[in-house]
């Protein structure tokens, strides 16, 4: 028997006989049922030929959908019982119904649901906080939890790298992008980082763990002046080693995913429109012209009234 799993993001797992595999989705659902898995099972022998059957399953990852604008309320069985707008009341507070970072049994948890750049406020819903990028955070806990959900708004965010997965002889790699306070403590600051996380292939220094960090890419950015509605963002990257004990990434992989510097162009506020041929004299002429038309119309109206 041959098994073939195809995931909605194009990831493929194949196997013959007893087959197994895993898939870590890097992004939560944007809409209900927008993720899917196709399982194709095939069996062949000389007497019956080839038999196959296709099974399709749609599913939703997470309860925060539509870019944080809606929250899915579930019952005890995990079924959707309501779809709530996060802009109202405490609908943005998540499954625990509590706003902000909570410490539950010694573990800090944040399950609020808001659009990027917004934060859940008690009885107000999602509100803009003035945090636009990772470096705007001034507190370690807020930074590491990214409680204003700005990592995707950060100028260093690269949709082609963040969330990307690769496979080679050392294992499966996933590039995770996040806001992270470094170094820990009062002397640190919030920074945008990319981590190359390897699963499988060994190399983790902790017994029983099968994942390790190959390398970390720390990014800082600066924005140039706005000209003709566009601005150039210059991004500088610094690579630091990870904790994998074997199978380190080669320099080509590091340079591809964490170059020393890079640039991107973004839209910005356009310069004021200049009307070079419209000065004070032109304004006076225009006013005289308008008054003249008005007097002519009033004169005609008066003549018609006298008739």
User: 85 Cβ partners below 8 Å, 6+ apart?
Assistant: 69, 70, 91, 125
Q: How far apart are CA 205 and CA 243, in angstroms?
A: 7
DSSP string, 92-103: GGTTTT--S-EE
Q: Inform me whether the pLDDT recorded for 256 exceeds 80.
A: yes
Q: Inform me whether the pLDDT recorded for 274 exceeds 50.
A: no
Q: How many helices (H) does the chain have, and how many strands (E)?
A: 3, 17
Question: Would you say how long the chain is, in residues?
Answer: 307
Q: Are 197 and 211 in contact (CB under 8 A)?
A: yes
The confidence band for 101, taking pLDDT boundaries of 50, 70 and 90, is confident
pLDDT tens-digit series, residues 117-138: 888 988 889 998 889 899 999 9
- Stated as kind and residue range, the H or E segment containing 281 is helix 280-306
Give the per-residue pLDDT at 177.
92
Tell me the pLDDT of the chain averaged across its residues: 80
pLDDT tens-digit series, residues 53-88: 888 888 888 888 898 899 999 888 888 899 999 988
pLDDT tens-digit series, residues 153-212: 899 998 888 888 776 665 677 888 999 998 888 888 999 999 988 876 555 445 445 678
Asked if the bond preceding 168 is cis, omega within 30° of 0, the reply is no
Q: Inform me whether the pLDDT recorded for 261 exceeds 50.
A: yes
Give the per-residue pLDDT at 276.
45
Q: How far apart are CA 286 and CA 295, in angstroms?
A: 14
């Amino acid at each position: 028997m041959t098994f073939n799993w195809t995931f909605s993001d194009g990831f493929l797992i194949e196997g013959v006989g007893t087959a197994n595999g895993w898939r870590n989705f890097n992004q939560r659902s944007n809409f209900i049922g927008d993720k899917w898995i196709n399982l194709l099972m095939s069996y062949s022998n000389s007497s019956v030929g080839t038999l196959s059957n296709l099974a399709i399953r749609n599913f939703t990852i997470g309860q925060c959908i539509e870019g944080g604008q809606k929250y899915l309320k579930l019952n005890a069985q995990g079924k959707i019982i309501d779809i709530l707008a996060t802009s109202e009341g405490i609908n943005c507070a998540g499954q625990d119904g509590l706003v902000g970072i909570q410490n539950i049994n010694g573990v800090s948890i944040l399950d609020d649901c808001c659009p990027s750049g917004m934060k859940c406020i008690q009885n107000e819903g999602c509100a803009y906080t003035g945090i636009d990028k990772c470096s705007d955070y001034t507190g370690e806990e807020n930074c590491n939890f990214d409680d204003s959900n700005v990592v995707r708004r950060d100028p260093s965010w690269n949709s082609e790298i963040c969330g990307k997965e690769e496979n080679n002889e050392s294992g499966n790699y996933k590039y995770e992008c996040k806001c992270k306070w470094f170094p820990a403590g009062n002397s640190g600051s919030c920074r945008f980082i990319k981590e190359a996380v390897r699963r499988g292939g060994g190399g983790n220094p902790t017994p029983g763990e099968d994942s390790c960090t190959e390398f970390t890419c720390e990014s800082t950015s600066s924005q140039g002046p706005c000209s003709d509605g566009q601005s150039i963002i210059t991004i500088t990257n610094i690579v630091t080693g990870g904790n994998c004990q074997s199978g380190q990434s080669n320099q080509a992989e590091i340079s591809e995913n964490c170059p020393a510097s890079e640039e991107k162009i973004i839209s910005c506020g356009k310069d004021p429109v200049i009307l070079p041929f419209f000065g004070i004299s032109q304004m006076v002429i225009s006013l005289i012209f308008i008054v003249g038309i008005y007097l002519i119309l009033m004169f005609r109206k008066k003549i018609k009234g006298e008739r």
